Every structure is written in structure tokens, then in C-alpha cells.
Structure 1
């Protein structure tokens, strides 16, 4: 068999996926055989080869042991990890654009449900760009909302922390329009909005936001976001733990109908 030549993207992550596949093919192993050798699921190994999943270091060390590569994959993984850290939000948006189911816990109004005026207020609230650059960011955020109009649209569930609804922008008109947008979105069949009230008590998602995305292939990823940082989580076990945390918050949140009434009450107030 002729040696496979790399002609893909000039990134460490793409090179890592290429090498994982090349090594298996040159060893003559099928995915089923490699699964038996490593105890990792065959579909999971396939996603590593296509670059759809970014694994953990122990997986690379296991594959290095199978192929006797002297740590090649582990070294490539460390380089790829640096790229993933820099591009984590870009990767998240790529996953979000393909997601069929999205569950979010938010301490701010999610970009997918923001009005243009509210998005501009949020993006200009800190040491943000001005003028043309600010408008580009606003339009980019609004452009992401097109995915909610796909046919069929993704199923979206958003849990809003009550603090989100208690922190309006300076302009009351902007805030009223944003609250109306949330109320209207809650009436759509593919969007569910719940409010997590202060009275529900403490939980382990406080202090940040969480997005859980289910992709067309059945896989899932998560994105944890603070005010100035974010982390893309692709390991299935970690995603499962975050899903359990999300479900506990969901179970303690107001039901959808009561949440809509809560939003309406804030508007009237």
C-alpha cells in the first residue's frame, strides 16, 4: 500500500487526525480490530480520524502504544490542544451551526435570541470596538440566528438565570423590546424558555453559562463560558456530567408557562 500523503489543512489538529488514520491503515488494522485493541468504541475512533472529535491525552498515549510511535501522537495532541484553546469559540460556533438539539443555561440573554439593539448594547458595554468594527460584530451575532430558521429548525431549550432578567440595559425601550423577543420566542414550538429563580437556591452552574449541543451523528459537545473565557468540552464522560448538572437546574426551574408569565411580569414592571 502506498504511503498516505497529507494534503489537508495546515493545522496541528488536522495533522493529528491524518496521522491517526494513516497509522491504522499502514498497520493493516480495521476500526473494529483497533477497537478491540484499545477498548474504545469504533465510532469514536472513526470521529478521531475525521477530526470531528478532539480526545484526551491518555487516548493518544494508548494509540502511541498500539503503533509503537514513540509518543508522536501525544506530541501532536499537545500542539493541537493549543490551537483548540485559541479557536475554542470558533469551533463552538461550527458545532452550533450543525446542532439538532441545543440546551443552554445562561446568565445573559443568549446571542441567538438577542434583538439588534440589545446586542449592540451588550457588545459596547465593555472595552469594545466602536464604529464599523462594532457593527460588524453586531451583524455577525445576528447572522447566527439564521440557524433557528432552518427546515427543520433545531430544538432549543434555554434556562435563564433570574439575574439575567433583573439587569436591564440603560435604555428602557431596548430592554422592553428584548423582553418581548424572549416572550415571543417562548411561543415557538421548537423553542423552550425557562427561568431559574433565585428561590431555587444554589447549583453548580452558577457563575457561568453552559451550552450542550447534540450533533447530527448523535455525538454531543459542551461549551462552558465565563465573562472573559470559554472552554469547549468534547469528552463524552465530561459532557454527560455537565448534562446531569443541567438537568438538575432544569428540574428546579420554573415550568415554561410560568416562565413566560415571569418574563411578562418583568415587562409590565
Structure 2
């Protein structure tokens, strides 16, 4: 087994420790990134990104590397520590935001809330406040979330397709007026030339994305990356095989969803069900 590197200095940080071990083991074995990719069956650029701390890869990659280097369990353990580091969510999200600004196409599936790119100010504020934010931090996060919507404006905005579970349209805000404004915004946005909104009704039955919000980004270089989010965190996925599996699940959901015209009618019906506030 290759000698272990002492855990000192920045190597005490989980992500950096993982990155340094990846570099050290490859150098000791004498592999180039391309040779490593050929040996393990992944695109060599994935390993380059892992060694630059741009992505952790998945646990299956860490396991394959452990087998390749003869270090059973070492890299998988370091991967688990790096993935569990609470600072990693912020880093992954910052990188996702940077990629989102560069995207030439976006498509999303939403489980229980409107996509951030389609949330009104009132909805965003209520949702973020419900997550525990207050005061200046709340104001900043609301501005950041609604500010992202400029991406869909301008002379040549990227196309954006959003598939909304019916639960999105039935999980209303306590503030009736704010909820009405959100539904009106979705109805209006669905008529945009670059925005396609489809509703996945409950009647469609079980599917492969029941508990996961996911956004796909098509980048200028032709790559597609995904950001998957659950109630306990989010993950930026750049490995092509994992993105492809998610994409197939998304395509299956899209096939079950209502058409754009039917979806617009569905949203309008939901809007009609919202009680009007009594006049004062």
C-alpha cells in the first residue's frame, strides 16, 4: 500500500485532504489523468476536476480509485468526510450559481415549490423566512434569489423549461394575496416565448423523481450538469453518467406531464380556487 501522507496544515480540511490524497496516489502510481480515465472508464477530465477541488465525484468513483490504487476504503472514507463537511454545500451552490449564469439552456423539475427563477418576491420572502432566516440575512437572500430571474430577461435569454409537480400548485402560502400573486406570475410566465411550464398531475402516478428537485444546465461547451436538491442539502453533479441517468428520469416525467396549453389551464383553475380577500 502506498505510504500515507501526514495530516497537517490544510490537509486537516476534509475536502483538501481528499484532493491531496488523490494527487499523491496518482503521482506515486505514475498515471497521467488520461491513463487513469482509460483504466477506470470515466472521462479523464473528471479526475482533473477532482484534483482541482471542483467536484468530489461520486462514491462509486472513490471506490474505483481505492481498488485501482490498492487502498481499500481510504478514498471512500475521505470522500464521505468531504461530502459531509457543512462548508461543501455553500461551495457547491456557489459553483452552481456561476454555471447557471453561463447556461445556454435550463430545465427543471420541482417537487413542492416553484423554481427560484419563477418565484415572486413575496413567495421567496415567505419561503426563506419559513426556513429560519430573519433580518438583514433574509433581505439579502430574497434579493439574491429574485435577482437570479434577470437571467431569463433581455434580448436573447436562454430557454427554460419547468415541470411542476401538482404539489407545487397546492402547497399555498398563508398569505393569500402573496399566493395569488405567485400563481398569477406562473400563469403569465407560461406565455413567454423562452419559458415553458408543464404540470405533472397527481394522477400521473409514481415516477423516478418523487422526492428530488433537479435543475439541468446546458453549458457553452456542450456539457450538461445537474443540481439535485432535497430537504437536507444539494449536490452539483457533473459526472456525465450520473447526469444522463437523471436526464432519463426527467424525460420520463416530461412524457407524463400535461402539455403547455393544458398546464396553463390547470394553473388558471388553481388561481380561480384562491379565495379573494374581502375588500376593506
Superposition TM-score, scaled by structure 2 size: 0.75
| Aligned equivalents of 2:20, 2:151: Cα separation in 1 | 30
CA RMSD, 1 decimal: 3.4
Cross-structure match for 2:189: 185
Cross-structure match for 1:4: none
Following TM superposition, by how much is the alpha carbon of 1:216 offset from its aligned partner in structure 2, in angstroms? Answer: 4.4
C-alpha distance after superposition, 1:152-191 (max 9, x if no partner): 5443211111222233323333223212221232233332
Following TM superposition, by how much is the alpha carbon of 1:244 offset from its aligned partner in structure 2, in angstroms? Answer: 2.0
- Counterpart contact for 1:95–1:213, Cα < 8 Å: no
Following TM superposition, by how much is the alpha carbon of 1:22 offset from its aligned partner in structure 2, in angstroms? Answer: 5.0
2:62 is aligned, of 60, 65, 86, to 60
CA gap 1:123/1:37 in 2 versus in 1, 3 angstroms: closer
| Aligned equivalents of 1:24, 1:98: Cα separation in 2 | 28
- Counterpart contact for 1:97–1:147, Cα < 8 Å: no
1:224 is aligned, of 221, 224, 229, to 229
Aligned residues between the structures = 260
- Counterpart contact for 2:120–2:182, Cα < 8 Å: yes
| Aligned equivalents of 2:181, 2:17: Cα separation in 1 | 47
- Counterpart contact for 1:233–1:239, Cα < 8 Å: no
- Counterpart contact for 1:96–1:213, Cα < 8 Å: no
- Segments of 4+ moved more than 6 angstroms: 7-10
C-alpha distance after superposition, 1:87-116 (max 9, x if no partner): 336513521431323322212112221111
| Aligned equivalents of 1:129, 1:250: Cα separation in 2 | 34
1:209 is aligned, of 186, 208, 213, to 213
Unaligned runs of 5+ in 1: 1-6
- When structure 1 is superposed on structure 2, of 251-260 and 207-216 the one drifting more is 207-216
Cross-structure match for 1:160: 164
Cross-structure match for 2:82: 80
| Aligned equivalents of 2:12, 2:154: Cα separation in 1 | 31
Cross-structure match for 2:126: 121
Cross-structure match for 1:3: none
| Aligned equivalents of 1:8, 1:254: Cα separation in 2 | 51
C-alpha distance after superposition, 1:184-216 (max 9, x if no partner): 322333321111122322323234433334444
- Counterpart contact for 1:212–1:222, Cα < 8 Å: yes
Unaligned runs of 5+ in 2: 1-8, 274-280
CA gap 1:168/1:11 in 2 versus in 1, 3 angstroms: same
Cross-structure match for 1:132: 136
User: The residue matched to 2:132 in structure 1 has which SS?
Assistant: coil
Cross-structure match for 2:178: 174
